[in-house]
Each structure stands twice: as C-alpha cells, then as structure tokens.
Amino acid sequence: MVFPDVRPRRLRRTPALRRLVGETDLDPRHLVLPLFVREGATEPVPIGSMPGVVQHTRETLKKAASEALASGLGGVMLFGIPAEKDPLGSGATDPHGILNLAITDVVAEVGDQLTVMSDLCLDEFTDHGHCGVLDPDGNVDNDRTLEVYAEMAVAQAAAGVDLVSPSGMMDGQVAAIRRALDEAEHQGTGILAYSAKYASAFYGPFREAVDSSLQGDRRTYQQQPGNRREGVREALIDVAEGADIVMVKPALGYLDVLSAVRAAVEVPVAAYNVSGEYSMIEAAAANGWIDREPAILEALTSIRRAGADIILTYWALEAASLLRR
C-alpha cells in the first residue's frame, strides 16, 4: 500500500473545516444593486430579457432602495429611462430629469445609511443611443461630450448622490468630472469610474432594460475584448485623474483583467456582473439545466476571488438573503 504524502482533502472533511480555511468572503456589503427608474411609469414594467428585474416607478424605486438598505447591501446604482430622448441627451443634465429626480427621492429615503450611486452616461438619454454627443459626421465627439458629462455630474451631485459613475469610456472623463465637481463645491462627491469597460455582447439584455435606441456598436470607445493590458492602463489613467473606485465590466468573462487591475491600483476595485451574465444563468435555470442558487453564489464568489472589492449584480437582494441563511 502506498500512502500519498500530501492530503489536501483533510481540510475538506467537514463543513466546519471548510469554513475555517475558506479564502473568499462574500457578504451583502460587497453587493450593489443596479436599479432602473422609468419616467412616467405608474406600474413597475418587467424587463422580458431579465426575469425578475423591472423598470421602477419613482415610488417603487424608493421601496427597492429601502429593501437594499434593510438587506445590508453596499449600495444601489441608479439608471434613468427618460420619456423623451434627443440628440444631446438633455434629460441627463436637466435637474428635473428622471435620473436626477430619482437620486433625490432615493437619498431622501435612505439618507447616509446606504451608498447611492448613479450612472453618468448619455446613452439612456440620446435618441441615437450613443454614450456621447455626435459631431457633424456622426462620430462620438469626445471633448464636447466631456462638457456634457461635467454638467451631468454637477446635477447628480446637487441631487445628493454619493458616487457618480461615468460609464461612457470617453478619454479624460474622470478628470473633467472631478474638476467640475470641485468647482461647484462638491468636493465630497466621489467617482466610481467604469475604467476597463469592454464592447461586450453581454450587455444585450440591458439594452432592453433602458429602451436603448442604439444602432451599430460602441467599438470606437469601449475596449476590444482581447485586451487585458489596455484595461490596466485605463484603470491607472482613471486613478491618476482622480477616480475613487475603478471598475471592470463585464465581470465573468474578464476575471483576469479584474485580477490584473486589483494588483495594479490601491483604490477599491468594483466589477459589474452584467445583464447577459445574469440572463444566461436565469435562462439555464428556467430550463432546469443548472441549479440556480448555487450557480448565483458561485458566480459572485468567483468575482470576489478574482479581486473585486465590490460587485454590481442584479442578484444583490437575493444573494444577500441566500447568504443570511
């Protein structure tokens, strides 16, 4: 009889031993719930491609935010869907635009008890669906867009948001926003930057969630999926420009980028477990092809293991209740 010299299985024998040697914690405080609010909605509107996710009314949005607080989540990330879109995305900078009103509503509801974040991007507000304004040739005009982002940031800060979240992948967006916030005396408003954001097919269901009118794609501003080094470069640039937190997006297909970014910066790192990642597991589970709850917890644990301090996920509330069990 030959005995193995080394027996890693000893530490897996009982649940107590496994708990003792667990390397990765997943706690509700790590989770941020993205929430959609639709201007003019009188009932929550289900999003067909994201079972269980809705476009909220202003009233139900407040309820969802208090649930997030009661569940011990780390925060909420707000997205607005305006009734009218135009080429400049005017609803984004209007203090009475849906997202700015929603920020005020939610902050009034949860105060300082829950971190409130808001998407800072024009794609939900423009009729062409791009993340910025267009030049006469139809290209996204980086520097003109920065002026709009700066104005949008100040409107969101005035509405009371804790962290603005630029997701448009314009060069210089963090610096432009930081300067505008400081000039408007919002030094305390932070920036969670979508730093390494890839042009991904996994945003598909989100486009339905925000009634996106995009024709074409975002490949002139979002990164190509094969580039890891460039993701680290983007994160370093954002930190240098004043980002308080950097993010990698999507999460599951980009765990190596997440891990590299975590190693490269000193600020907290977030990851966005995006709509397509959510819907794939939901669809497989609905077909009986995958065991839903363990799949959710495994996906989120993997994102933590790769280096995310913070995870944006549509499962945040449910995962928090699974973790409490």
Which residues are tagged catalytic? 197, 249
Task: Provide the minimum distance between the beta carbon of 50 and ligand PBG in the complex, in angstroms, as a whole number.
Answer: 8
Residue 274 found at the interface with ligand PBG (CB under 6 A): yes
Report the alpha-carbon distance of residue 110 to residue 98 in Å, rounded.
Answer: 18
Pick one of 126, 275, 279, 313: the residue that binds ligand PBG (CB under 6 A): 275
Which residues, in sequence order, are bridge partners of residue 53? Answer: none
Pick one of 39, 105, 119, 141: the residue that binds ligand PBG (CB under 6 A): 119
Nearer to ligand PBG, 184 or 214 (CB): 214
The token pair that represents 60 in the structure block: 């139900």
DSSP class of 126:
B
Helix axes 316-324, 292-306, angle to 10 degrees: 100
Beta strands 75-81 and 54-56: pairing type?
unpaired
| Helix, strand, coil percent content, the chain, rounded in steps of 5 | 45, 20, 35
88-96, 115-123, 137-145, 300-308 -> range binding ligand PBG (CB under 6 A):
115-123
Q: Judged by CB under 6 A, how many residues of this single chain contact ligand PBG?
A: 9
Pick one of 36, 125, 149, 203: the residue that binds ligand PBG (CB under 6 A): 203
For residue 25, give the 3-state DSSP assignment: coil
Nearer to ligand PBG, 74 or 112 (CB): 74
DSSP class of 131:
S
For residue 211, give the 3-state DSSP assignment: coil
Task: Provide the minimum distance between the beta carbon of 3 and ligand PBG in the complex, in angstroms, as a whole number.
Answer: 51
Task: Provide the minimum distance between the beta carbon of 290 and ligand PBG in the complex, in angstroms, as a whole number.
Answer: 19
The token pair that represents 97 in the structure block: 């635009």
Residue 282 found at the interface with ligand PBG (CB under 6 A): no
Report the alpha-carbon distance of residue 164 to residue 22 in Å, rounded.
Answer: 34
Task: Provide the minimum distance between the beta carbon of 124 and ligand PBG in the complex, in angstroms, as a whole number.
Answer: 6
Contact set for ligand PBG, span 145-174 (CB under 6 A):
167
Task: Provide the minimum distance between the beta carbon of 117 and ligand PBG in the complex, in angstroms, as a whole number.
Answer: 12
Q: State how far Cα 308 lies from the chain centre.
A: 12
Interface ranges with ligand PBG (CB under 6 A):
119, 121, 123, 167, 203, 206, 218, 274-275
